[in-house]
Amino acid sequence: MTEKTIIKVLVADDHAIVREGLKQILADTRDIMVAGEAENGLDAIKIARKGNCQVLLLDISMPDRSGIEILKQIKKENPALAVLMLSMHREDQYAIRSLKAGASGYLNKQSAPRELVNAIRQVAAGMKYISVALAQELANQIHDDHEIAPHEALSDREYQTLLMIASGKTVGTIASELSLSVKTVSEYRSRLLVKMKLKNSAELTHYAIKNKLTED
């Protein structure tokens, strides 16, 4: 097998144990190799700029900025790079947003190693990778009479804030985890309350549970 046929992958995840796990899985393949790794969004962007990889495995929850923001920046600079988003979140939470932002696919971290390998090969070949569940969700949105749910009109950061509030996190905690000021997070909260026509965090949480946006 020549070097040209080997798929070079960049792994971007802030957890070292996850990066090592992914590297171990891919070490057992003959046509895929990990050519770089990053522990935050800035490093992922810098390494992606070198153009040494065909596929980027990108965690959607990074410490310095959201995976969606990183995705948009990388696709702007390197449209040819196939980005496969990885997350612990269910597909119905972030998958469609990721695909709309330019991702080639979305994979839950609990997926089997074989599925990860197949997904990498598929996106490296220029195709999209989606699961059966996500395909059904996309099909449900094709109908002409499909009405956009309130949370679908939120920005990526507002949506992320919604999920974190619904999980019981305070504004201060959210600000710390996203490396933002409390004032900024409070503004996101205020904006999403207005957009969704809700009064407080309790109503946000109720909405998230009712619409199955929270983790099971």
- CATH value at residue 35: 3.40.50.2300
pLDDT digits (tens, 9 = 90+) for 30-48: 999 999 999 999 999 999 9
Q: What is the pLDDT of residue 142?
A: 61
Q: Indicate whether 155 and 134 sit together in one domain.
A: no
Average pLDDT for residues 190-196, to the nearest whole number? 87
Residue 216 included in any domain: no
Q: What is the pLDDT of residue 2?
A: 47
Token pair recorded at residue 68: 């969606």
Residues 6+ apart with CB under 8 A from 135: none
Among 110, 140, 170, the domain boundary falls at: 140
Residue 23 has pLDDT above 90, yes or no: yes
pLDDT digits (tens, 9 = 90+) for 74-124: 999 999 999 999 988 766 667 888 888 899 999 888 888 999 999 999 999
Q: What is the pLDDT of residue 141?
A: 62
- Round to whole Å and give the CA distance between 148 and 152: 6
Residue 103 included in any domain: yes
Residues 6+ apart with CB under 8 A from 70: 12, 41, 44, 45, 58, 62
Token pair recorded at residue 96: 């469609």
Q: Which of residues 151 and 214 earns the better pLDDT score?
A: 151
Residue 85 included in any domain: yes
pLDDT digits (tens, 9 = 90+) for 119-141: 999 999 999 998 777 777 667 66
Q: Of 17-31, 139-153, 166-180, which gets the smallest average pLDDT?
A: 139-153
Q: Indicate whether 32 and 53 sit together in one domain.
A: yes
Confidence band of 213 (pLDDT split at 50, 70, 90): confident
Q: Which of residues 15 and 5 earns the better pLDDT score?
A: 15
